Amino acid sequence: MHIGPGFLSPPVWASTAALSGAALAGSLVAANRRLEDRRVILMGVMGAFVFAAQMVNFPVLPGTSGHLGGGFLLGVLLGAPLAIVVMASILVVQALVFQDGGIEALGANILVMGILPALVGAAVRSLWRKRPGVLGDVVTFLGGVAAVLLGATSVILLLWASGSLPGSVSLWQAIAVMDVVHLLIGAVEGAASVAVVRFVLRTRPDAVFAGLPGGMEALSA
């Protein structure tokens, strides 16, 4: 879902870059407060995994593929600040080394694939801390779908604000076309997120909720 070079107008890419830059700076400050080694390790391997998983495009509709975003999953496992740091790192590497996404669109891509889904993931994270189990699975799945749709809709809004949608198409039509495809991609994102969250919570609950009060009690249920 990377926005390529030339699709955003200067006001749009500049304002999203400023917003994402501020969010990234705030995330680094927030993460700095309490960062244990085990969370650094988890953050590193999850970043490598999300980068790799993004390379695996799966077919969704004829002539269309999708790939995981990962921002939602990271939000659940790491919380919003670290998830934003991880997604920003991945998107910078993708843009600079692999020409995936325009360099001027980096802030916008960090917003739609990093910040927004990470915030949805962080909301679901608090549920896992309080009440893990089947409810957690269901909410994680739905959260994954919602995070993808939120990002997809935002991309269309940014293209629209940039004047990059043709005049013959209304904003609502464009959002509908985008969101139908991303509903399917979101279902895969949601299911994959459930599987990965379950696996990591089973193997390293201490790293997921390290240093957070109430984390371990929540997992004993």
Partner 1 sequence: MTTADRNTLLVGLAVALVVGGAVSYFASAEPDGLEKTQADLGADEARHGGVEAPPVAFDEYRLTWLGEGFWANAAAGVVGSLLVLGILLGVGRILGRRRAAEKPA
Write the interaction track for partner 1 spanning residues 138-177; mark x where CB under 8 A is met and - where it is not. Answer: --------------x--xx--x--xxxxx-xx---xx--x
Give residues with Cβ within 8 angstroms of 29, minimum separation 6.
none
Is residue 213 part of the contact set for partner 1 (CB under 8 A)? no
Q: Give the interface size with partner 1 as a residue count (CB under 8 A).
A: 84
Binding to partner 1 in span 68-127, by CB under 8 A:
85-86, 89-90, 93-100, 102-105
Is residue 208 part of the contact set for partner 1 (CB under 8 A)? no
Q: What is the identity of the amino acid at 175?
A: I
Q: Return the axis-axis angle of helices 116-130 and 71-78, rounded to nearest 10°.
A: 40
Is residue 39 part of the contact set for partner 1 (CB under 8 A)? yes
DSSP character for 21?
H
Q: What is the identity of the amino acid at 192?
A: A
Residue 128 C-beta: closest distance to partner 1, Å: 18
The helix/strand count (H/E) of the chain reads as 10, 2
Binding to partner 1 in span 10-29, by CB under 8 A:
10, 28
Candidate residues 23, 31, 76, 122; the one interacting with partner 1 per rule CB under 8 A: 31
Are 84 and 46 in contact, with CB atoms under 8 Å apart? Answer: no
Candidate residues 19, 35, 157, 161; the one interacting with partner 1 per rule CB under 8 A: 35
Map tokens 């910078």 to a residue.
92
